[in-house]
Chain A
């Protein structure tokens, strides 16, 4: 039962253009969503988050949009840079007594070409 899904295993974008990574979830009890970036041989690095009471959160080149009615969130990176090439994970939390459990999607590998 995959509660958080990232349906695109990979995405290729030209440098300077926008990268849009998508994530869908099934459980309406989730109240907090996060994006992590992972380089090979490193642990995931926290990128940006959004609470379910908001529909947008922006931090520099990164913006996360949340559409609760569609149970969908997306991460926009503008402009994309070659250093953004990594695997991006969407994660969700907030299931009551689950003690801080994060539920991750399968990841999307972003490749930004110069």
Chain B
């Protein structure tokens, strides 16, 4: 059991729509990161939240946004979906100050048509 759960597991959206992906972090983990993994590639860092504030962002446009809540849950929102947004979206949590062994969820497979 990974301790990090993501929902939904699969999702199909139409180009131009908006999507919200959800993550429930492992209890006690105050840091959550989101990654995008395209087919055949490694995960790419989207952003990280620490104590409900964004504290790091990768090379993704502003239409990718997030929220972290006090109950260890978080959201990834993507507006104006494009076909290239089709990917596996991974959530990872950790407790700041410990090692970098982030715990990943199983991901949400997003398909944009």
To the question of whether A and B form a pair in one complex, the answer is yes
B7 at the interface (CB under 8 A from A): no
Q: In the complex, are the beta carbons of B56 and A102 less than 8 A apart?
A: no
Place the interface of chain B in its size category: 20 to 34
Place the interface of chain A in its size category: 20 to 34
Some 7 contacts from A to B, beta carbons below 8 A apart, are A36-B104, A43-B2, A43-B105, A99-B47, A99-B57, A102-B43, A104-B44
9 closest cross-chain pairs (CB), A and B? A99-B56, A104-B42, A43-B104, A46-B101, A99-B55, A101-B45, A99-B48, A43-B106, A44-B104
Residues of B within 8 A of A (CB): 2, 4, 31, 33, 35, 40-45, 47-48, 50, 54-58, 90, 92, 94, 96, 99-107
Residues of A within 8 A of B (CB): 4, 6, 32, 34, 36, 41-46, 49, 89, 91, 93, 97-107
